[in-house]
Every structure is written in structure tokens, then in C-alpha cells.
Amino acid sequence: MRLAKTPSALVRTLHRICLALLLSFLGLLTVAGAHEIPNDVQVKSFLRQDDKGLTLLFRVPMSAMKEVEFPLINQIYLDIPQVKPSLLQAAELWFTDNLQIVQGQQALKQISVKAVRISLPSDRSFATYDQALAHVRSENWALPSQLVWSQQYLDLEIHASAVNNNAPIEIDFGLQRLAQRVAIDLRFQLLNSEERAFEFDAREGSVLLNPSAWQASWRFIKLGFEHILSGTDHLLFIACLILTATQWLNLVAVVTGFTVAHSVTLMASAFGLAPSGLWFMPWVELVIAFSILYMALENIWRAEVHRRWLVCALFGLVHGFGFSFVLHDTLQFAGSHHVLSLLSFNLGVEAGQLLVLMAGVPLVMWLSSKVYARSLTLVISALIAHVAWHWMEERWVVAAKFLPAYF
């Protein structure tokens, strides 16, 4: 009997050990959770180029400065007289250690912290570069005696020695770990030029602030090419065109009509000639889904489709607005080459469409030789219509929210 009970005793002992380990692990998670990563953090910054190099100014919430022990009174109030060394530590840990600047394909090595200070949430000195610089360098902090540390801001000045004042500047702030999403608001000014504003996610990584013409062109060619290949709705629209193409000449006419039309609205949107209300994008997405549904149903209803180039041109106008949403946040990185970047994006889109046509047309022709061509068109068009219908249902839910305000 004792031998029979031994395995059960061992099992119970093992269960207790596993339970103890599990509770210990959960306890560690609880402790780790005391320093939770913030959801969203906004970093305000300036980058100014002069004869001495690059000057960078930053403002970041102190609550995001993990891994730094600020001197506190009663575990909540900042010990102002003792705080400066920890501010310098935070500046080096989160900024100079992670900041990467490349100018003219040469990494800048001499990057150092010049000044740090604490600012109140009510401070408005970061409205302009000159105000922010004077504020950061000021020795008169004029702060209340009791400051809750997690509600304040760290302001700092960083200097980097430049190698070539005329070379493009590529920068990676390396602030991705500050929060789950880090929004960077950057004001950038080159030597003897106007200030430009940037807003981007720190997860963008390295960004080129003043690209040359060929750098801007290549970036937007790639963006257009990748967008058309990753945009399922645009690919399904093109698939509807391929299914009914009986001759290359007809297909070229249809695709050209679509291309010219979306180029017109894309350029118009880029120059601010399209509506900018919140209602506009949901309705454009809804009409794009409808365009796919219409084309698929037309493939089913009609064995021969006439004047499709005209329909494609009309729908192309809407798809152009869809393309413009991609450029909304990216065109800021075009530097002074806006028109060239727009044309390059269009070129990338057309290159992507051409690749799809070159792959899709021979595939459809080969499948048509194996099965009845009309049956193939009906089956694939029905599947596309099914997908488009569900997209319309989903997008209608969003678009319909704006009906009371505009109808």
C-alpha cells in the first residue's frame, strides 16, 4: 500500500512546487507592472543647422523616463536641488545613447548634452525655436517647491558637430521604447532656409529630412509600387479588368483611362484641392468598395463589356483620392521636391499595375485554355463580388456616422 501511495505523494508535491513557481512568476509580473509602458507619448523637438553644427531641442514627459530614479520627497515630489544629475542621466540614456544622425553618408559621432531643465505642463516656450532655446538654457527655473514628478517635462539641448552643411541629413531618434506609440513633432530648419514641420511615429526609424531629388524620387517610387501590391482593393479592381480583357489593346485603353483619372485626383489632393473633412475618407473607401462590386457584377451580367474605359476613368477618380491618403503623412519627407515626388509615386503605382498585368493576363489566358473561359470569369467575379459586398457593409457602418452632419 505504501508503494502505491508514493507516486500520488510525489505528484502532489510536484503540484505544490509548480503552484509556488507560478505564484512567484505572477508576483514578478506584478512588480514589473509597477513601471508600465505608457500608451502614447508626444515628443516636441527642434533641429536647427548653423555654422557650428546641429542643435536639437527636445521636450518629453518625465513619466516616460523609465529606468531613471529621480530624487523624490515622500516618493512623489521632485527634490529640485538634487534633480539635475538624474536629468543628465535621463538625457544620455534616452537621447544621446540612441540618437543616430547621418550627414552625407557619414555618421556624426560628437553628440553631447548641453543643457537640461524641468518644465511645467503650462509652459508654452516650445512654440518657437528661439523661445525654446532661451528657456532650456535659462538657469532661473522658477519652479514651485512641490512638483509631482510624473506631471512634469524634461527639456534638453543636444549639439552635434556637422561634417557638411549642404549634405542630406538622416536621423533616427531611437525613442521607440519610450511608449507603445511615440509621436514626434519636429520643426526642422537648414542653414539659410525656411522651417519645415514634421509629424511622424518613432517606429518610422530613420528618416531623411532634406533628401536630394533622386532620393525623394526613389522613395516615392518604392512607396507607390509597394502600395499597389499591398492594396487588396486596388488589386481586385484590376483583376476584374483582366478577366474580361479579350485583346491587349482594349486592356491598355481601360488601364490608361483608370491611370489618367487617378493621377488627376491624386495631384489635386496633394495640392489641397480635395475635401479635408473627417467624412471624406470613409466615403471614398465606401465608393472604392462599390466600384469593385460593380465591376464584378458587370463581369457576371455581360459576356461582352463595352466602353469600360469610361467607367474605369470615373472610378479611377475615386481611387486617386484613396491613393492620396497614403501620401498624406509621407509627402512631408519629400523635402523641396513635392511635384517630383508625386510623379514618382504615380510611376511606382503604374509599375506595380504593370507587374500585376504581366502576371495576371498570361495566368488568366492559361486557365481559360484549361476550362471554359466564361465559367472562369463567373466564378472569380462572384468571389470578388462577395468580398466587395462585405467591404461595403463594413465601410458603410463608418461612413453612415457622418450622414446627419452633411445631409
Pairing verdict, β 153-160 and 53-61: antiparallel
Residue 71 placed within a domain: yes
Residue 4 placed within a domain: no
What number of helices (H) and strands (E) belong to the chain?
11, 12
Q: Answer yes or no: do 93 and 160 share one domain.
A: yes
Residue 2 placed within a domain: no
pTM of the shown model: 0.70
Q: In this structure, what DSSP letter does residue 377 have?
A: H
With CA atoms as reference, report the closest residue to 315 among 396, 388, 404: 388
Taking only Cα atoms into account, the Rg of the chain, rounded to an integer number of angstroms, comes to: 29
CA distance 229 to 239: 12
With CA atoms as reference, report the closest residue to 117 among 93, 95, 96, 86: 86
With CA atoms as reference, report the closest residue to 402 among 285, 277, 273: 277
Residue 34 placed within a domain: no
Q: Please report where in the chains the cell 472604392 appears, as a residue.
A: 288
Q: For the sheet containing 207-208, what is the strand order?
A: 106-107, 100-103, 169-172, 207-208
**Could you tell me if 184 and 173 are in contact, meaning their C-beta atoms sit under 8 angstroms apart?**
yes
96 grid coordinates = 544621446
The tens place of each residue's pLDDT in the chain, 407 residues long, gives 443 445 566 556 655 665 555 555 444 444 344 445 567 899 999 999 888 889 999 999 999 887 889 999 998 999 999 999 999 999 999 999 999 999 888 888 889 999 999 999 999 999 999 999 999 999 888 888 889 999 999 999 999 987 676 788 899 999 988 888 999 999 998 877 788 889 889 988 888 888 888 989 998 999 999 988 888 988 999 998 888 776 677 787 888 888 889 889 988 888 888 888 888 999 999 999 999 999 999 888 875 666 778 888 899 999 999 888 878 778 888 888 888 998 999 899 889 988 988 888 888 888 777 777 778 888 899 999 999 999 999 999 999 988 875 55
Count of domains for the chain? 2
Residue 305 placed within a domain: yes
38 grid coordinates = 505608457
Q: Output the DSSP codes for 191-203.
A: TTS-EEEEEEEGG
Beta bridge partners of 107: 102
Residue 53 placed within a domain: yes
- Range of the structural domain that residue 152 is part of: 40-210
Q: Answer yes or no: do 186 and 229 share one domain.
A: no
290 grid coordinates = 462599390
